[in-house]
Amino acid sequence: MKHFIHLKDISAKDLRKIIVDAKKRKNLRKRLNTLEVDKGSPLKGKMLIQMFEKASSRTRISFYLAIKQLGGGTLTLRSNELHLGQGGESIADTAKILSTYGDGFMMRTDSDEKIENFKDHLSIPIINGLSPSSHPTQVLSDVFTVEEIKKKPISKLNICWIGDSNNVLDSLIAASVKFSFKLSIGCPKKFEPGKKVRDWVKKNNRQIFIYNDVKNAVKEADVIFSDKVISLNDKVNKKKKIEQFKKFKIDTKLINTANKDCIFLHCLPRGDEVSDEVFLGKKSHVWQQALNRVHVQKSILLYCFGKLR
């Protein structure tokens, strides 16, 4: 049994194994319908319990499909439907119950500490479906999408992030170390990645490149990633923050200054950080990106259940 909480805590070898497996599985089910089960039904009879303390469309649906396609099933809960945090039921007791009924637990939360707490009391694997410091299933799937579209290892590409220093970027930074790719980040000075994550990069003998000028950040980019300036439950003056990011909007003029075949990716939901023209344009692969979450999460589930080939 293995947990999937932060990319930084998983070996590069295992992350690569997950991607290789996802590629094989995606190819093998080209002619299968949405809910048809992969040959061999590797997670037959297994149940994934998913709990959301914050909104989700893609993560919720893609995990549902992922476990179904492996032969298992899922139960999706909102935390306010449980005793947890109400009526005084502890994480330890809830974790024991989840481990009694289910085989895996996926959680989206506003508290990294809560994930750690659950991990300590569960006897089944836990998957981080987004926390303040990480969105690991999203970013591993994004690495898969980049390699699928570009048809080369991500280590040979210049990856660029334009936007806030949030959970998705933290996972992308971890991925840049694990998969050895060049990562350039464009954001206002005030919103640069924090010391903790920068120190971790240094400790791993890698570098990230931070620019406060958006044009310098996208120069020679093969892939431009972005995300909403205002994340879920971001407790800031929203109007002010959007204003501070105004110069960092990704529009056609900007993307045309990157490498000729530069693609655009975005985890969704989107806000004002990208123009419609780019988001819905030829360089954008956001729908393929969203679909690939199903394929990569299947291999993440197999990794957690100790069934990765």
Q: What Cα–Cα distance (Å) separates residue 75 from each residue in 21, 50, 60?
A: 25, 6, 10
Nearest to 43 by CA among 119, 144, 139, 124: 124
160 is catalytic: no
Mask: binding to ligand NVA, 235-274, rule CB under 6 A, as x and -?
--------------------------------x-------
Cα 202 to chain centroid distance, Å, stands at 22
**Is there a contact between 216 and 186 (Cβ–Cβ < 8 Å)?**
yes
Q: Does 115 bind ligand NVA (CB under 6 A)?
A: no
Size, binding site for ligand NVA by CB under 6 A: 10
DSSP type of residue 86: S
One-letter identity of residue 302: L
Q: Quote the longest CA-to-CA distance of the chain.
A: 58
Q: Does 134 bind ligand NVA (CB under 6 A)?
A: no
HSE of 286, CA atoms in CB hemisphere, 13 A: 20
154 or 265: CB nearest ligand CP = 265
Binding segment toward ligand NVA, per CB under 6 A, in 17-25, 175-183, 186-194, 227-235 = 227-235
293 is catalytic: yes
CA dist 62 and 78 (Å) reads 17
94 or 171: CB nearest ligand NVA = 171
The entry of ligand CP, ligand NVA, none that residue 145 binds, CB within 5 to 8 Å by partner kind = none
Closest separation in Å from C-beta 120 to ligand NVA = 24
3 or 228: CB nearest ligand NVA = 228
Q: Does 67 bind ligand NVA (CB under 6 A)?
A: no
Q: Which of 79, 165, 167, 289 binds ligand NVA (CB under 6 A)?
A: 167
Q: Does 227 bind ligand NVA (CB under 6 A)?
A: yes
Length of the chain: 309
Question: Which residue(s) pair with 77 in the sheet?
Answer: 51
Active site residues: 108, 135, 138, 227, 267, 293
